[in-house]
Amino acid sequence: MNDIFYDILNRVKEKGYKLTPQRKAVVLAILNHDHMHLNTEEIYALVKEEYPKIGLATVYRTLIVLDELDVITKMNFDDGCIRYEINSETHQHHHLICRNCGKVIEVMEDLLDDIEAMVEEKYQFKIIDHNLKIYGLCKHCLDNQ
């Protein structure tokens, strides 16, 4: 965890951005709540606990920087705001979204090799990233209906 933290701070510095306590606090908040798909307001609230002076716009701006540096990825779960998650190279994952309760489940298996090979060959498209959302009903909602 600490390794990831300092690696991110280094990346910020290397790209010419300054290491301010506000940026550190935002990175920490996201790291400490991984897999929670926080939106900007939620990150703002968390950072405010430790750093009450921070402004909402600063959080927005920091997230733009972190997205640019590939530290985080924007996620859209169609709930009217952008949510973020840490980019860990090792776990390319997908999301199951329950149409009933809205819960988001992460699927760690990739299984997109076939389709990616086909796309690169047939469409001559150089793939950088992908985003798969699967909508349906989660186990809990299936059992309780």
Partners of 74 in the β-ladder:
84
127 near its own copies, judged by CB under 8 A:
yes
What is the rounded distance in angstroms from the CA atom of residue 131 to the CA atom of residue 94? Answer: 7
CA distance 63 to 53: 17
Among 3, 53, 128, 129, binds DNA (CB under 7 A): 53
Residue of 57, 63, 55 lying closest to 29 (CA atoms)? 63
Of 74-93, which residues contact DNA (CB under 7 A)? 80-82
Among its own copies, DNA, none, the one that 94 touches (CB under a kind-dependent 5 to 8 A) is its own copies
List the interface residues with its own copies, window 46-75 (CB under 8 A): 74
Q: How far apart are CA 44 and CA 113, in angstroms?
A: 37
Give me the sheet containing 38-39, strands edge to edge.
38-39, 82-86, 72-76
Per-residue interface string for the shown chain with DNA, residues 15-34, x marking contact by CB under 7 A: -xxxxxxxx-----------
| 3 state SS of 95 | strand
Binding to its own copies, residues 98-117 (CB under 8 A): 98-99, 105, 107, 109, 111-112, 114-116
Give the H/E segment covering residue 64. Answer: helix 56-68
Q: Interface with DNA by CB under 7 A: which residues? A: 13, 16-23, 39-41, 51, 53-58, 60-62, 64, 80-82
Summarize as ranges the residues that interact with its own copies (CB under 8 A): 74, 76, 78, 94, 96, 98-99, 105, 107, 109, 111-112, 114-116, 118-119, 123-139, 142
